[in-house]
Amino acid sequence: MLKKIIYLFFFLSVGTPLFASTEDGAKLIEYWYIVLPFVVLLLMIATGPLFYHHFWERHYPKVAIALGSVTVLFYLIVLHDTHSLVHTLAEYLSFIALLSSLFVASGGILIKVDRKATPALNVLILLFGSVISNVIGTTGASMLLIRPFIKINKDRIKPYHIVFFIFSVSNIGGALTPIGDPPLFLGFLRGVEFFWVVQHVWYIWAPTLLVVLGIFFVIDSLNKLGSNSENEYTGKIQFKGLKNIWFLVIIIISVFLDPGVVSWIPSLSPMPFGIREIIMFSVVYFSYKKADQEALRGNEFDFEPIREVAYLFAGLFATMIPALQLIAYEANIFGDELDAGLFFWATGSLSAFLDNAPTYLNFLSAEMGKFAMDVNDKSEVLLFEIEHPIYLQAISVAAVFFGAMSYIGNAPNFMVKSISERAGIQMPSFFGFMVKYSIPILLPIFILIWWIFFYGNG
């Protein structure tokens, strides 16, 4: 077991091609070092904000684009492969269209709650946020709810409030639909059916969330801060910028507007985008232009978080092309030795520290390679989800859930931390978050999930 894990980690951390099976992969074997830009970028994303943040804040766009360009030029000049590049560009545009439209549309809605916080009300808010994160994404739900959550708890707020918000709303909650979390959306773009996730993950999602919120309830019940507060509350809940809900509805409907899903939707091929992306980018423009200024101000709206995601993922999408192809190529070799439990831990461990979206895609590629299937072929992805659901289930759950293990596991984690600090809350450090919260609380739960659902399976 340990040996197998080491093989998997070795590949993703050093870049040595352990997996191979497709033609593209075979060609890449002699150029294995072309995965180095991907490894370097992932490591810099993980370490930049922590150890050299002044440099990182200023130069991350240049770093991401430069590393991405190395891979693009390699494919153009050495491999003469434009197909992989155009395919990846189309996937990137779909990805960033969804994220940016959800980000901007939800950033224009302000919720004001004037109620006294109680542990039960807090649990209800976290549960509500977890559910709606499947409709407006973990990013959208986090943006929408973090401020009202802080506000109602202003007399008794402690860092654990924010930490459990990150656990539930920003991560675990969004495991039920492809809109919920970026890795699942990448799976959807590759051919995983939209409702496959909810059908196969809900019975892991529900007890996990129940346990996390149960722990939160106990901790919150022990918090007596603010119990003598003389503040008076009207009990009112007010909304500003509600018209943006219509933009959210348009985004959700447009997710399905794919020629592969709805036959009458025209394909704009050879353009690397479709009707769906045009609609989503239009929503970005109009939802910002028409947004309620007071709501934007109340949310302290800033394009920087989505700008960061756009640049970093441009680099990630480009640099991970050879990694995906190499993984698919050599998964056959170790195929018999890799079970669903192993994929659960490998995907989870990397998702905790690296970005969970490319991690999911890498391991989907590896799993399919084990069965001599190609992640770039939608019909094979469809076949894979039917014939080997336990594998897809393992990486879907792990990629989303483990994103809560650290601040860098999922994009909304840092956004929530940043908003909380802007609200004056001193958040735990990177390691403090893990040592005090995610390792003692989440890790035992994840071990249980593995033991119940994946141990010895596949």
Residues lying near another protein in the complex (CB under 8 A): 54, 110, 112, 147, 150-151, 154, 157, 294, 296-304, 418, 421-426
Question: 62 or 422, CB closer to another protein?
Answer: 422
For residue 83, how many other CB atoms are within 10 A of its CB? 11
Q: Which two tokens stand for residue 78?
A: 């050495």
Residue type, 288: Y
Question: 110 or 327, CB closer to another protein?
Answer: 110
Q: Are 444 and 374 in contact (CB under 8 A)?
A: no
**C-alpha distances out from residue 444 to 160, 210, 430, 449, Å:** 18, 14, 20, 9
Phi, psi of 117 (to 5 degrees): -75, 140
With a CB cutoff of 8 Å and minimum separation 6, the contacts of 122 are: 149, 152, 153, 161, 216, 217, 220
Tell me which residue of 170, 106, 96 sits closest to 413, measured CA to CA. 170
* Shortest Å, Cβ 165 to another protein: 14
Question: 147 or 388, CB closer to another protein?
Answer: 147
* Shortest Å, Cβ 334 to another protein: 42
Q: How far is CA 424 from its chain centroid?
A: 26
* Shortest Å, Cβ 67 to another protein: 24
Question: 223 or 457, CB closer to another protein?
Answer: 223
239: which strand partners?
111
DSSP-assigned letter for residue 32? G
Question: 157 or 172, CB closer to another protein?
Answer: 157
* Shortest Å, Cβ 436 to another protein: 18
CA–CA gap between residue 318 and residue 334 (Å, rounded): 26
* Shortest Å, Cβ 414 to another protein: 9
- Cα four-point dihedral sign 414, 175, 315, 99: negative
Question: 350 or 408, CB closer to another protein?
Answer: 408
Question: 23 or 304, CB closer to another protein?
Answer: 304
Tell me which residue of 152, 109, 149, 113 sits closest to 237, measured CA to CA. 113
* Shortest Å, Cβ 252 to another protein: 25
Instruction: Please classify residue 263 by burial: count the beta carbons closer than 10 Å to its beta carbon, then call 0-12 exposed, 13-18 middle and 19+ buried.
Output: exposed
Question: 228 or 426, CB closer to another protein?
Answer: 426
User: Coil, strand or helix: which one is 46?
Assistant: helix
* Shortest Å, Cβ 326 to another protein: 36
Question: 154 or 200, CB closer to another protein?
Answer: 154
111: which strand partners?
239
* Shortest Å, Cβ 59 to another protein: 15
Q: Are 299 and 107 in contact (CB under 8 A)?
A: yes
* Shortest Å, Cβ 308 to another protein: 11
Q: Are 356 and 402 in contact (CB under 8 A)?
A: yes
